[in-house]
A and B are shown apart, each in its own frame.
Chain A
Amino acid sequence: KNQVEQSPQSLIILEGKNCTLQCNYTVSPFSNLRWYKQDTGRGPVSLTIMTFSENTKSNGRYTATLDADTKQSSLHITASQLSDSASYICVVSGEYGNKLVFGAGTILRVKS
């Protein structure tokens, strides 16, 4: 069964600290993996997208890594800001990029 599991479910960190969110998937065949940021009550916004051959992709303070052999990805946030408080969703594409499998998300709260 195609699944995407994210951990932790929720996380609280202090402003300025770094954090890493995890994503494990069983989707096969694999096309690409995406990380989205979703603010409360809003639609998700794409942060990064990686194909099988890419190990890392950065977008500002966000860095995503992908290990296609172990089917794991992580999203590292550097020097967190209050505006980073959101749900971070890992999404894996299994065929041609149109059929997506969504993780339940990690809720991040950054405190001052």
Chain B
Amino acid sequence: DGGITQSPKYLFRKEGQNVTLSCEQNLNHDAMYWYRQDPGQGLRLIYYSQIVNDFQKGDIAEGYSVSREKKESFPLTVTSAQKNPTAFYLCASSMGVNGGLAKNIQYFGAGTRLSVL
């Protein structure tokens, strides 16, 4: 899992509760990403950030929020508006989105499994 740390490994959410998943990287990467993985489906992009204090919605951003106040950190909040949050969440980072193939290789964390109580 390289230098990307996700925590916690397992998380339980109660009805109406917001929960925050942590993602920290020490690879000095500019870009960071959040994906959701459901059984039998490919990873789907929730949010991504190319630079500090900037982020863009991915394909399934509804019910989620992010912040990028530091280069190393990209926390994901699963809000109460996300009605089906049970999934495996993966954080990834890459050197940069432009300027060369090697810079675009994404390195993934170990994931956080979120379940609803």
A96 and B97 within 8 A (CB): yes
Once bound together, how far apart are the Cα atoms of A100 and B104, in whole Å? 10
Once bound together, how far apart are the Cα atoms of A102 and B41, in whole Å? 8
Query: Which chain A residues in 1-42 approach chain B with CB under 8 Å?
Result: 4, 9, 32, 34, 41-42
**Residues of the B chain whose Cβ atoms lie less than 8 Å from the Cβ of A101:** 42
A97 and B97 within 8 A (CB): yes
B42 and A46 within 8 A (CB): no
A43 and B42 within 8 A (CB): no
**Residues of the B chain whose Cβ atoms lie less than 8 Å from the Cβ of A51:** 101
Once bound together, how far apart are the Cα atoms of A46 and B1, in whole Å? 10
B81 proximal to A (CB < 8 A): no
Contact of B111 among A42, A46, A89, A102 (CB under 8 A): A42
B21 proximal to A (CB < 8 A): no
Q: Interface range on chain A: under 10, 10 to 19, 20 to 34, or 35 or more?
A: 20 to 34
Contact flags A68-112 to B (C-beta < 8 A → 1, else 0): 000000000000000000000100010011111111110000000
Once bound together, how far apart are the Cα atoms of A43 and B35, in whole Å? 11
B101 and A32 within 8 A (CB): yes
B60 proximal to A (CB < 8 A): no
Known: A98-B31, A102-B42, A104-B40. A46 touches B107 (CB 8 A): yes
Once bound together, how far apart are the Cα atoms of A41 and B88, in whole Å? 8
Once bound together, how far apart are the Cα atoms of A101 and B35, in whole Å? 11
CB distance from B111 to the nearest CB of A (A): 5
CB distance from B38 to the nearest CB of A (A): 10
Query: Which chain A residues in 46-68 approach chain B with CB under 8 Å?
Result: 46, 49, 51
A98 and B94 within 8 A (CB): yes
Once bound together, how far apart are the Cα atoms of A44 and B108, in whole Å? 6
**Residues of the B chain whose Cβ atoms lie less than 8 Å from the Cβ of A102:** 35, 42-44
Query: Closest 5 A-B residue pairs measured CB to CB?
Result: A97-B104, A43-B108, A102-B42, A98-B97, A102-B43
Chain A residues with CB under 8 Å of chain B are 4, 9, 32, 34, 41-46, 49, 51, 89, 93, 96-105
Chain B residues with CB under 8 Å of chain A are 1, 4, 6, 31, 35, 40-45, 48, 50, 88, 90, 92, 94, 97-98, 101, 103-111, 113
